[in-house]
Amino acid sequence: METLIVLAVLAVLVVVVLASSVKIIPQARTANIERLGKYQRTAGAGLTLIIPFIDRMLPQVDMREQVVSFPPQPVITEDNLVVSIDTVVYFQVTDAKAATYEIANYIQAVEQLTTTTLRNVVGGMNLEEALTSRDSINSQLRGVLDDATTRWGLRVSRVELKAIDPPMSIQDSMEKQMRAERDRRAAILTAEGTKQAAILTAEGERQAQILAAEGDAQARVLRANAEAEAIQVVFDAIHEGEADSEVLAYQYLQQLPRIAEGTSNTMFVVPAELTRALEGLGDAFGPGRDAGSSSSPASDDGDARPARRTGRGSSTRGQDRPRGPREGRPTTAEALRAAGVPEALTAGTAVPEALQDTTLDEALATPTGLEDPLPAVDPERRRGPGMA
């Protein structure tokens, strides 16, 4: 019975010894092993055997990259302003033995080294440089920390400044400065916009005036051509119809009411030629005139009176000068553009010669024969038959 008890105790001791001699280290971690208090080796991830009661495994070291955020540190700049700076350090343990035996607390060592290095770097800058030179500060901090922590078995990969907080009074001044700068830029942009708007408006008005002037010039040319055509048509109609003085006098009588329509027309002059034409017209429409006759009847004493010219039979007007075929003037915008008048007007040239077939003086000239004296009318003929 005693033998069984002893065997059981020995078995338990063997199990305890075996359990204490087998160690499992997770991935991305290492452990330093000491034998009889002296560094013996560094065990990596996996199964590790140690000698119980002789070897001792120290706490495991995390080999992954670590991120440590330090509290805000007051730093005095070159222009004697106190700013608060937050920093973040990214580092990784590369040598577990050095990190364990070369430095007591590498986290605290990195924090203190970062603070002192930050004060040295920022202390040589003014506030504006510190606010605008974050990349330069980060590079300098990383270089100093990496050189100092290499012998500790650490590698500093990055150093970042989270925030740089100047005093409240300086922040108010900076806000006022930024507001003034933005107001200045806004005023400049507004002035530039006003300038551009004025330039575009002036350019538009200039173009509008040019187009209006060109349109007015074309309209005047078209109106002048239309009036010239109308005058020419009337002129040709008069000559082709061989109108005599009586017809012209009748037309003049029809136009007299229109002449008198104006409020300022208080009197108008009747030419002497019109008086003679009216005498002939009265004689033509008198009661003693035969409608079909083309000459005056003989008087009582047998004297033959000269024959009065009728509208078509004896007149030779229209044959005084030969006129060839006349080309029409352009009276529409399309015809005007086809004739090249707008280009001539733009170039400062007068109306092309092709549009000046008939001059205005020639169109307004008195037709040939209108100034010929009318034949004398016998007073007896003027009374008509049957009148004493």
68-81 pLDDT, tens digit per residue, is 988 888 988 888 88
pLDDT-based confidence at residue 377 (cuts at 50, 70, 90): very low
C-alpha span between 355 and 185 (Å, rounded): 60
C-alpha span between 127 and 148 (Å, rounded): 27
Confidence check: pLDDT of 12 > 70: yes
Do residues 42 and 72 share a domain?
Answer: no
* Residue 198 placed within a domain: no
Do residues 234 and 357 share a domain?
Answer: yes
Do residues 213 and 345 share a domain?
Answer: yes
Boundary residue ending a domain (61, 91, 112): 61
C-alpha span between 188 and 194 (Å, rounded): 10
* Nearest Cα to Cα of residue 48 among 14, 15, 22: 22
pTM: 0.46
Do residues 55 and 113 share a domain?
Answer: no
Do residues 227 and 80 share a domain?
Answer: no
* Residue 336 placed within a domain: yes
C-alpha span between 290 and 297 (Å, rounded): 9
CB neighbours of residue 97 within 10 Å: 15
Do residues 162 and 73 share a domain?
Answer: yes
Task: State percent of the chain over pLDDT 70.
Answer: 66
Reported as a single tens digit per residue, the pLDDT across 312-340 is 444 444 445 455 555 666 667 677 677 66
Domain with residue 68: its CATH number is 3.30.479.30
Interval 225-253 mean pLDDT = 78
Boundary residue ending a domain (135, 166, 197): 166
Length of the chain counted residue by residue? 388
Task: List beta partners, residue 43.
Answer: 31
Structural domain containing residue 355: 205-258+270-286+312-383
* Residue 70 placed within a domain: yes
Which of 193-202, 229-238, 365-374 comes out lowest in average pLDDT? 365-374
Q: Which amino acid is at 388?
A: A
pLDDT-based confidence at residue 202 (cuts at 50, 70, 90): very high
Residues 6+ apart with CB under 8 A from 96: 30, 31, 32, 42, 61, 63, 153
Do residues 123 and 228 share a domain?
Answer: no
C-alpha span between 277 and 369 (Å, rounded): 13
CB neighbours of residue 202 within 10 Å: 10
* Residue 45 placed within a domain: yes
Helices (H), the chain: 2-21, 96-101, 106-123, 127-132, 134-149, 168-241, 245-259, 272-284, 333-338, 341-346, 360-364, 379-383
Boundary residue ending a domain (143, 166, 189): 166
Number of domains within the chain: 3
Region of residue 386 (left: phi > 0; alpha: psi -120 to 50; beta: else):
left
* Residue 199 placed within a domain: no
